[in-house]
Structure 1
Amino acid sequence: MPGLVENKPRFRTVQQFEADYAPAKFSQYESTRTGMRVVVVDRKGPKVNGYFALATEIHDDSGAPHTLEHLCFMGSRSYKYKGVLDRLATRAYSNTNAWTATDHTAYTLDTAGWDGFAQILPVYLEHVLLPTLTDEGCYTEVHHIDGTGKDAGVVYSEMQGVQNTQGELMELQARRLLYPEGNGFRYETGGMMEQLRVLTADRIRAFHKDMYQPKNLCLVITGEVDHDNLLSILDKFEDSIVDAMPPLDAPFKRPWVDSGPTLPLSKTIIDTVEFPEDDESTGEILIGFFGPKCNDILNGQPFARP
């Protein structure tokens, strides 16, 4: 009779340590199958908070990162309809949200207790890694022409409200002057209205395929967490998606890490940005420059906001 083969754990422990500045213990795990990373911060409290972050980089103003963030809530391979995730989260005393930044996209899950978090986690992750991304969802959520002949769409309306404000116009022009073409910091990841009008579902799908891979995903979870239960849930979740994920050794250009360096400015630039305003008696000045590296805390402290 052949012996029983014990399944080896698919998540290895990278490091564990206790902080000396707070009552918290840090644990880092990594999947040997997909490369997904998990960071758990054990701390006492009634809530469990999750931040599911992906490094995202784009070299145009299409708004693909921002629109994709919205479309991930429109359904997944096993839960095909919009609103299913939010309904399940509400029943488990949970709240979901997300944001798109220049260098990353993050999805959040806040839950009262571990049990509800554990219940929603695999459903949420499937929405992130295997969203439906239908043509119809893109049409209604991103941009369309309504019955009165006006531009509409959740993402389009959101950007319409901020694109031509004084602050946004100045910040965008500053980025255009500081960063050359081909540098991800130069572009508006939320999308410019003129490009959102022509953005296609295929472009969003291509961006998802490039960026939304388990090896580019890090789960940060804080609260009172059952580690064994968490890794078991993630192991089973990977079983359910492995057929749709690229192999761990497949070629992958890591956003920002594998991108070219930002060159220093060769000269001082002074520019004027016009913006729509009834009152022409006031204006605003923005001064932009390259500071120290983000992990240089000592030299970066003088530039921090008060």
Structure 2
Amino acid sequence: MKKLASFTFLVTLLLLAGCGGKEKTKLTVPHETYKLENGLTVVLNEDKSDPIASLVILYHVGSAREVPGKTGFAHLFEHMMFQRSENVGEDECFKYIEGAGGDMNGGTSYDQTIYFELIPKNALELAMWLESDRMGFLRNTVTPQSFALQQNVVQNEKRQMVDNRPYGHTDVVILKNLYPEGHPYSWDVIGEMEDLANATVDDVKEFHKKFYIPNNATLVVSGDFEAEEVKALIEKYFGEIPAGEELKDPEPVTVTLAETKKLYHEDAFARAPQFTMVYPVAEQFTKDSYALDVLAQLLGVGKNSPLYKVLVKEKQLTSNVRIYNQSQEIAGQMQINVTANPSTSLDEVEKAVFEAFERFETEKFTERDLERIKAGIERNFYLMMSSVMYKGFMLALYTEFTGSPDFMLEELEMQRQVTADDVWDVYNRYIKGKNYVATSFVPRGQTDLVAAGSVDAGVVEEDITQATQMEVVAGGEEVIEKT
């Protein structure tokens, strides 16, 4: 199945809507928002600049809606939703859309699952039919055979993306140590393979029944269309799907660390040591989250940033430093990532990070630096607004998570209003002198390179020569009972 590249990064980027400059730009995003009787939220955005349209459906379900012992279900359904539904045959979704000259894909993160089509405007009804069929008519196609097949697909994906790639276990180690046991962000989106192996068809059907429902989703149509015609099509294809149970939105569950945790892993696939440092921070759509976005860029983005100057220019420990703020629905994290030069001590890397922090405190930053960064964030916002696809993503995200598509404009103003005092405030409250999680991933046999005080992370790497798969019984296409 096609994958949406770097989906988590995409969602993070989409949520960075803000900026600088003293001149306030008047921006409007024309839209009509309404709900069907079954609770499906609909946003229509007419944009006739090109004869194309996008259809985006965002379900308010990701790995954070799972529970311990039953993880990985949201990611599993990302796969199953592309297989078949009651009226769409096996693997025909892509064939229909690509045959019409369009593209489709989807992705799952901690807080949402999103599906989209980018199509010629005359294929919009086709996209609606496909999306409505897998929303309302998928569960009966989840059979023991199809479930076992997708269990194998997910197992193989984990082997490729986690077990058999350099630093693949980093996020898993960080999440388990940054968040307390049972916290919705304490497991990776792909889930625990043991949970998936123990899951039953009834388990996953119940998960779909609970979360993949009209009243837990937002549908956005953006592009070249006639509103009244599209409204009729939406009612035709989605109106008959029954609402599910009423769901409450998750509440923020931010965390603090009682102590710093430093862990290491001898990585069989790593050729150079990598150091990752993570601080718990505020959740999304808060005043702090916007100041944290700016802080991350001041600390490490650009050749004049303190992290780059100390680690790359002066000490030559690495060729690059990555830092980003990831404020999400119920909590957030700021992460610094350094893939060091071969044979470089990660203890020296850690010390250099703190030296860069000290440099930040002593050299500070100018108002011009602040405005430059805010202007860059706003530029990204406008670039995305120029695409019917990204505009569809943004309208879906803001509508589902804030209740209003217009919040994107409110957030733009909030980013504009970030001050130097705001940046210093979040630096002092979330970063300076605070506990953190740090990982040292080093090549096999090079534990002398790990940061001082690190303990073994206890990573269990699957021996692919001993890997087993769920049995998939052959026998042709299964007959299913239609709704």
TM-score, with structure 2 as normaliser: 0.50
Alignment match of 2:291 (pick from 299, 303, 306) = 299
Q: How far apart are 1:46 and its partner, in Å?
A: 3.1
Q: How far apart are 1:156 and its partner, in Å?
A: 1.6
Alignment match of 1:76 (pick from 56, 63, 85) = 85
Is the 1:169–1:275 contact (alpha carbons within 8 Å) kept by the matching residues of 2? Answer: no
Alignment match of 1:116 (pick from 112, 123, 129) = 123
Deviation per residue, 1:81-132 (Å, 9 max, x gap): 21232232233222221111111111111102x2211233122221133212
Q: How far apart are 1:275 and its partner, in Å?
A: 3.9
Match of 2:162, SS state, is coil
Q: How far apart are 1:140 and its partner, in Å?
A: 1.6
Is the 2:34–2:42 contact (alpha carbons within 8 Å) kept by the matching residues of 1? Answer: yes
- The answer on 1:140 being equivalent to 2:139 is no
2:113 matched residue in structure 1: 105
Is the 2:175–2:188 contact (alpha carbons within 8 Å) kept by the matching residues of 1? Answer: no
Is the 1:98–1:105 contact (alpha carbons within 8 Å) kept by the matching residues of 2? Answer: yes
Match of 1:111, SS state, is strand
- The answer on 1:48 being equivalent to 2:48 is no
Residue type of the alignment partner of 2:232: S
Match of 2:188, SS state, is coil
Identity of aligned pairs, percent? Answer: 17
Alignment match of 1:272 (pick from 263, 270, 291) = 263
Partner Cα distance (2:42, 2:134) in 1:
18
- The answer on 1:34 being equivalent to 2:38 is yes
Match of 1:285, SS state, is strand
Answer 1 or 2: which has greater helix percent. 2
1:286 matched residue in structure 2: 276
Q: How far apart are 1:175 and its partner, in Å?
A: 1.4
Q: Bigger CA drift: 90-99 or 290-299? A: 290-299
Q: How far apart are 1:37 and its partner, in Å?
A: 0.7
Is the 2:107–2:114 contact (alpha carbons within 8 Å) kept by the matching residues of 1? Answer: yes
Is the 2:128–2:237 contact (alpha carbons within 8 Å) kept by the matching residues of 1? Answer: no
Is the 2:105–2:115 contact (alpha carbons within 8 Å) kept by the matching residues of 1? Answer: yes
1:125-274 aligned within 5 A = 125-131=132-138, 132-143=141-152, 154-164=153-163, 165-242=165-242, 245-246=243-244, 251-254=245-248, 257=249, 259-274=250-265
Residue type of the alignment partner of 1:39: V
Q: How far apart are 1:157 and its partner, in Å?
A: 1.0
Deviation per residue, 1:238-296 (Å, 9 max, x gap): 34433xx43xxxx4233xx2x3531431423222131432667x422222123333223
Is the 1:133–1:201 contact (alpha carbons within 8 Å) kept by the matching residues of 2? Answer: yes
Larger Rg, first or second structure (1 or 2): 2
Is the 2:129–2:237 contact (alpha carbons within 8 Å) kept by the matching residues of 1? Answer: yes
Structure 1 moving runs of 4+ over 6 Å: none
Residue type of the alignment partner of 1:233: L
Q: How far apart are 1:71 and its partner, in Å?
A: 0.9
Relative to structure 1, the CA distance from residue 279 to residue 118 in structure 2 (aligned partners, 3 Å threshold; closer, same or farther) is closer
Is the 1:52–1:108 contact (alpha carbons within 8 Å) kept by the matching residues of 2? Answer: yes
Deviation per residue, 1:8-35 (Å, 9 max, x gap): xxxxxxxxxxx9337x42222211x111
Q: How far apart are 1:304 and its partner, in Å?
A: 5.0
2:74 matched residue in structure 1: 65
1:147 matched residue in structure 2: none
Partner Cα distance (2:184, 2:225) in 1:
36
TM-score, with structure 1 as normaliser: 0.77
Relative to structure 1, the CA distance from residue 302 to residue 166 in structure 2 (aligned partners, 3 Å threshold; closer, same or farther) is farther
Is the 1:292–1:299 contact (alpha carbons within 8 Å) kept by the matching residues of 2? Answer: no
Partner Cα distance (2:225, 2:234) in 1:
13
Q: CA RMSD in A?
A: 2.5
1:13 matched residue in structure 2: none
Relative to structure 1, the CA distance from residue 100 to residue 21 in structure 2 (aligned partners, 3 Å threshold; closer, same or farther) is same
Match of 1:191, SS state, is coil
Partner Cα distance (1:93, 1:54) in 2:
25
Give the aligned length. Answer: 264
Relative to structure 1, the CA distance from residue 163 to residue 200 in structure 2 (aligned partners, 3 Å threshold; closer, same or farther) is farther
Partner Cα distance (1:293, 1:35) in 2:
27
Q: Bigger CA drift: 170-179 or 215-224? A: 170-179
Q: Bigger CA drift: 70-79 or 227-236? A: 70-79
Q: How far apart are 1:75 and its partner, in Å?
A: 1.7
Relative to structure 1, the CA distance from residue 278 to residue 102 in structure 2 (aligned partners, 3 Å threshold; closer, same or farther) is closer
Match of 1:196, SS state, is helix
Is the 1:66–1:100 contact (alpha carbons within 8 Å) kept by the matching residues of 2? Answer: yes
